[in-house]
């Protein structure tokens, strides 16, 4: 069985002025405030969500 690593995602730019689906994606990732950091499993679904809002977040592999 493959052990999934985690990624650290930080909201670095406000979602004000961006489309509703991008705001919903940030909320789905658990990012509700500026500079909030969440640790999530590195799955294809999470990577797709991060790719959609890559201009608003910073990502680090753990």
The answer to whether the pTM exceeds 0.85 is yes
**35 domain-assigned:** yes
**24 domain-assigned:** yes
CA distance 2 to 4: 6
Q: How many residues does the chain have?
A: 62
pLDDT at 4: 73
**1 domain-assigned:** no
Q: What is the pLDDT of residues 40-54, one digit of tens each?
A: 999 999 999 999 999
Q: Using the predicted structure, report yes or no on whether residue 2 has a pLDDT greater than 80.
A: no
HEC states along 10-29?
Answer: EECCCCCCCCHHHHHHHHHH
Q: What is the pLDDT of residues 17-38, one digit of tens each?
A: 999 999 999 999 999 999 999 9
CATH number of the domain bearing residue 56: 3.30.1390.20
pLDDT at 34: 97
Number of domains composing the chain: 1
Helix axes 20-29, 44-52, angle to 10 degrees: 140
**11 domain-assigned:** yes
Task: Tell me the residue range of the domain where 49 lies.
Answer: 6-61
Q: Using the predicted structure, report yes or no on whether residue 1 has a pLDDT greater than 90.
A: no
């Amino acid at each position: 069985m493959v052990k999934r690593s985690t990624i650290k995602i930080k909201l670095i730019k406000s979602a004000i002025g961006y489309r509703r689906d991008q705001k919903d994606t940030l909320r789905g990732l658990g990012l509700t405030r500026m500079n909030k950091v969440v640790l999530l499993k590195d799955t294809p679904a999470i990577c797709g969500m991060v790719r959609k809002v890559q201009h608003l977040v910073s990502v680090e592999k753990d």
